[in-house]
Structures are given as structure tokens and as C-alpha cells.
């Protein structure tokens, strides 16, 4: 855990002893703590802590959740996710709990410990090369998500994850949205596979780079669309149809403006809105559903990567930015920040 302690009593938001599910801060904090619980579950396993020695249970039991299933990677036997069921206390039935979850499926990120780090780093590379959907870990994850969603018909099922786990939850959310299930999702520091233009201090330089990127992407995207109309390529109307199909899914993204791994989501959505405001909505919609890398690979005839949708590109999102200046990059990317009570947040909703 990035807070320096896996003990909930030391690092967790123990002040939240009376959850109001209509409060956005409470919902965000609980979702982040459940992800934290998954991190500590794997730490417990590696440290061989048993019974009362385990540090993980308070991370969900404090909020009246029950662990009903652990998700284990077949490759290294590490715990990478968990399914939690909410069991509200008796007094909760006397208040409004419409926004409480019934089940929460949580995924941890990269854990820098001996028995998990090699596999996690391999998956980080899969995220970068846009191949997460082909991994056995995601196959296990999406089966678990489908089983829960189909069992309760999508009623109040949450997805949540941090970093690599946020990418896993995002991919699962996209997959389910295409089948008609728009699950509530809390994605903490999700990776955006692109140069982090957002962390450049000069606003004019940022704007210039994004505008130049838009011009290049627009040209390549038009070429790909034309080629797609001729040979039914996935880079033609396929991307557009898929993008539109999930436009009603609005996941909650939580990013730190100083985190190079996720900060580019800020510029991605803000630049699209600027284009729409100047009457270039068609260009904005076209370029926002393509990555420059995929378009370039398609243009030069490379096969493989360009046939899959860029994971990090989203049509819609509820974007929350932490404006508090972190002491270092590790803190900016950390999970602990998201349940702090003293956050300086900027929230925006972007719809396709």
C-alpha cells in the first residue's frame, strides 16, 4: 500500500463509520478501500499470514462487506481480484441506500513483491501493447464479472480497480457495456498509453502538441475509414460502431494531474470538448476513438495491434482530478490519496 502501512487502523479512513451512499466522497472512499483490501489479500498470502494475523479483512469488514470469492491468476497463483457482497447493518434499512452496491468486483494493480511482481509487470506490458484482452488473467476476470452480473441481472454491481487493476476493470466495463450492462465503475489512476502531454507546464505547448496530434490523427483516421469501407477493416466503421455502443457507459475516473501514467485523460477529454465548442465536433469524435500508434501501424500495414480497440480511449466519463500537489510521482499514482478527507478535487462529466 502506498500509504506505507497495510493496517486499516493506521492507513484507512476509519472516520467513515457511517456511510452515506448518496455521498460521492463516501462511495469513492469505499471503492478505493476495497481495492486496497485486494492488495493486502495478496500481501497476506505472500507473508503466509493466517487467521487473526491477516491484515486484509478490516479493509472490507469496516464497511459491512463480505468477501465471497478471490480471483487467482493461474500463472503465478497470486490474488489479483476479489468479489465482495454488501451486507448492510440493520440501521441502514431506515435510510436512503439507493446508490449502495450489491456486489463489488475489485482489482489490484502492480504489487512490487517477490511472488507477484514478474507477472504483474508482464501484464503492464500487455496494457502498453494493447493486449490485455488476450491474457489469461483477464479471461478469469471477465468470467467472474459475467457470472455475477448475469446472476443478479446487473443490479447494483460495481467494478473498481487501481492502475493495472483499473485497466482490468475498464476493459471488463467496456465488454459488459457492449452487451447492454452499464456497470458503475470506479477507476483509480487508470493508465493512458500515450506520451503524458498533460504534465508539461506550458499550456501553449500542450495545446500545440494536441492540435498537431489531432491534425495527424484526423488524416490517418479518414484514410483508415476509407480503407475500411473498401475491405471491411476493423479500423473503418468498426471502431466507430463500437465506440458508439458504449457511449452510454459513464465510468468514474480518478486521476492526479501530476501522475504521468493517467494524467493524459485530462487533456484527452478537455481537448475533445474544445474542438466541439469551436464547431469541430465531427473531428473530435473521430480522433477521440483512435490512438496515433494504432493509426500509424494500420497506415504502414502492420498487423496485430491495430486490429484491437485502444483500451484507454473512452466515449464518456465522469472525470475527477486531484489538484493537491503530491510530494513525488509515487504519491501521485498512489491509491491512498483517494480516501483522504482533505482532497482538492475538480469534477467534470464528458458525454460522447
Q: Is the pLDDT of residue 263 over 50?
A: yes
Strand partners, 347: 320
pLDDT bucket at 306, cuts 50 / 70 / 90:
very low
Q: Where do we find the cell 486490429?
A: 307
Stretch 26-32: mean pLDDT, rounded? 98
What are the start-end ranges of the H helices in 153-263?
A: 164-177, 203-231, 239-245
In this structure, are residues 159 and 105 in contact, taking their beta carbons and an 8 Å threshold? yes
Sign of CA dihedral 109, 115, 118, 122: negative
Concatenating the DSSP letter of every residue in 164-185 gives HHHHHHHHHHHHHHTTT---EE
Report the distance separating Cα 248 and Cα 228, nearest Å.
25
Q: Which of 10-19, 22-31, 48-57 has the lowest mean pLDDT?
A: 10-19
pLDDT bucket at 304, cuts 50 / 70 / 90:
very low
Res 241: pLDDT: 74
Q: What percent of the chain has pLDDT over 70?
A: 82
Report the distance separating Cα 134 and Cα 139, nearest Å.
8
Strands 157-162 and 184-188: parallel
Res 284: pLDDT: 64
Q: Which of 11-15, 178-182, 228-232, 258-262 has the lowest mean pLDDT?
A: 228-232
Q: Average pLDDT of the chain?
A: 86
Give the pLDDT confidence of 186-215 residue by residue, as tens digits.
Answer: 999 999 988 878 788 777 788 778 777 777
| Residue 290 vs residue 128, higher pLDDT | 128
Res 238: pLDDT: 58
Stretch 94-110: mean pLDDT, rounded? 85
Report the distance separating Cα 252 and Cα 37, nearest Å.
20
Stretch 221-247: mean pLDDT, rounded? 62
Res 205: pLDDT: 82
Res 279: pLDDT: 79
Res 194: pLDDT: 84
| Residue 202 vs residue 223, higher pLDDT | 202
Stretch 232-252: mean pLDDT, rounded? 72
Report the distance separating Cα 99 and Cα 239, nearest Å.
32
Stretch 167-180: mean pLDDT, rounded? 96
Res 96: pLDDT: 54
Report the distance separating Cα 188 and Cα 40, nearest Å.
17
Strand partners, 104: 84, 158
Res 208: pLDDT: 79
In this structure, are residues 63 and 87 in contact, taking their beta carbons and an 8 Å threshold? no
Res 1: pLDDT: 58
Res 350: pLDDT: 93
Q: What percent of the chain has pLDDT over 90?
A: 63
| Residue 234 vs residue 35, higher pLDDT | 35
Amino acid at each position: 500500500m502506498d500509504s506505507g502501512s497495510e493496517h486499516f487502523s493506521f492507513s484507512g479512513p476509519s472516520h467513515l463509520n457511517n456511510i452515506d451512499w448518496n455521498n460521492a466522497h463516501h462511495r469513492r472512499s469505499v471503492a478505493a478501500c476495497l481495492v486496497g483490501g485486494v492488495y493486502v489479500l495478496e500481501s497476506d498470502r505472500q507473508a503466509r499470514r493466517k487467521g487473526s494475523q491477516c491484515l486484509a479483512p478490516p479493509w472490507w469488514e469496516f464497511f459491512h462487506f463480505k468477501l465471497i470469492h478471490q480471483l487467482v491468476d493461474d500463472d503465478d497463483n497470486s490474488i489479483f481480484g476479489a468479489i465482495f457482497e454488501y451486507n448492510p447493518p440493520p440501521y441502514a434499512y431506515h435510510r436512503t441506500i439507493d446508490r449502495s452496491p450489491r456486489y463489488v468486483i475489485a482489482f489490484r494493480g502492480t504489487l512490487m513483491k517477490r511472488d507477484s511482481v514478474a507477472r504483474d509487470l508482464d501484464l503492464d506490458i500487455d496494457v502498453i501493447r494493447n493486449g490485455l484482452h488476450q491474457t489469461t488473467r483477464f479471461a478469469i476476470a471477465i468470467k467472474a464479472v459475467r457470472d455475477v452480473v448475469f446472476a443478479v441481472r446487473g443490479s447494483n454491481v460495481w467494478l473498481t480497480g487501481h492502475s493495472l487493476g483499473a485497466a482490468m476493470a475498464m476493459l471488463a466495463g467496456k465488454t459488459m457495456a457492449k452487451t447492454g450492462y452499464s456497470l458503475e465503475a470506479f477507476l483509480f489512476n487508470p493508465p493512458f498509453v500515450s506520451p503524458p502531454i498533460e504534465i508539461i507546464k506550458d499550456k501553449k505547448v500542450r495545446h500545440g502538441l494536441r492540435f498537431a496530434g489531432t491534425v495527424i490523427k484526423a488524416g490517418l483516421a479518414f484514410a483508415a475509414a476509407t480503407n475500411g469501407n473498401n475491405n471491411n477493416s476493423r479500423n473503418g466503421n468498426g471502431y466507430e460502431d463500437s465506440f458508439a455502443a458504449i457511449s452510454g457507459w459513464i465510468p468514474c475516473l480518478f486521476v492526479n494531474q501530476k501522475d504521468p501514467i493517467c494524467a493524459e485523460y485530462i487533456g484527452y477529454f478537455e481537448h475533445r470538448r474544445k474542438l466541439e465548442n469551436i464547431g469541430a465536433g465531427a473531428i473530435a469524435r473521430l480522433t477521440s476513438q483512435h490512438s496515433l500508434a494504432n493509426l500509424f501501424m494500420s497506415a504502414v500495414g502492420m498487423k496485430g495491434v491495430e486490429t484491437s480497440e485502444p483500451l484507454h480511449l473512452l466515449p464518456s466519463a465522469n472525470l475527477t482530478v486531484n489538484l493537491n500537489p503530491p510530494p513525488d510521482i509515487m504519491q501521485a499514482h498512489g491509491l491512498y490519496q483517494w480516501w483522504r478527507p482533505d482532497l482538492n478535487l475538480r469534477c467534470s462529466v464528458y458525454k460522447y
